[in-house]
Structure 1
Amino acid sequence: MSSYRPERVGEQIHKEVTRILMYNIKDPRVIPVTLTGVQMSRDISSAKIYFTVHGDSAERKEAERGLKSAAPYIRRELGKIMKLRFVPNLFFKFDESINYGQKIDALLYQVRDDLDDHSADS
């Protein structure tokens, strides 16, 4: 068994779940969802699928509910598509790293503006 197998399976799950969300799921709660990554357990029994939503926290909560309700269907579809003995359990998690990156960008822009203002005053 290759040590890279969980990563390969995670990449395949990312690709297939994205396709399933785009073409098979009609729930309006999951339309604005963007998948950002998949983290597989070492034994490939579970997959954390990270997602982001552009919008407020209410839209995020609705997307989480929509993904949670669609998870059994998505898992069943993965079982039909992928050649795995056992299809992993799917857990959808909101990706906080996007918001964190946006906060850092805002702080860097603020520092740059402060430096520009300071150099203009001198």
Structure 2
Amino acid sequence: MSMQRLNRISEELKKEISSIIMNELKDPRISAMCSIVSVETTPDLKYAKVYVSIYGSKEEKEITLKGLKNASGFIRKKLGDNMKIRYLPEIHFVLDESIEHGARIAEILNEIKNKEEGRQN
């Protein structure tokens, strides 16, 4: 399968899964501050890793991730209703902490910059 087609399918999965989580899931464990960062699909379309960013405490992240994993069957069924592809991948949710990591690095860089400005004055 061409990489271009695989990327298009991954992006479509990302949009559809985001829509299902926001509009159709009624699980109270799933935080409102949950977003899909990216989707990686295997070339044979059997598996899809869905990277999820969740804003909140570590406990909230774990609870939301557990809720998403439990709802993966429902999400897959809804994907089957919404998308017309031959093989619908099995969904695996993975916590993506790159946004928090980037924010932490920016915070450290700002602290260093402020210390440097303080030394020059």
Q: Would you call these one fold, judging by a TM-score over 0.5?
A: yes
RMSD of the alignment, in Å? Answer: 1.1
Alignment check: 8 A CA contact 1:6 1:43 kept: no
What's the offset of the Cα at 1:3? 2.5
Q: Report the Cα distance in structure 2 between the residues aligned to 1:109 and 1:39, rounded to whole angstroms.
A: 33
For 1:35 and 1:112, locate their aligned partners in 2 and report how far apart those are by CA, in whole Å: 32
For residues 27-70 of structure 1, the C-alpha deviation after alignment (integer angstroms, 9 at most, x for no partner) is 12223311111111122211111111111100001001110111
How far did 1:82 drift? Answer: 0.8
Counterpart mapping for 1:56-95 below 5 A: 56-95=57-96
Q: The residue matched to 2:76 in structure 1 has which SS? A: helix
TM-score (norm 2): 0.93
Runs of 5+ consecutive residues of structure 1 not aligned to the other structure: none
Deviating 4+ runs (over 4 angstroms) = none
| Residue correspondence of structure 1 range 1-122 to structure 2 within 5 A | 1-30=1-30, 31-120=32-121
Secondary structure of 1:38 counterpart: strand
Percent of residue pairs bearing the same amino acid type: 33
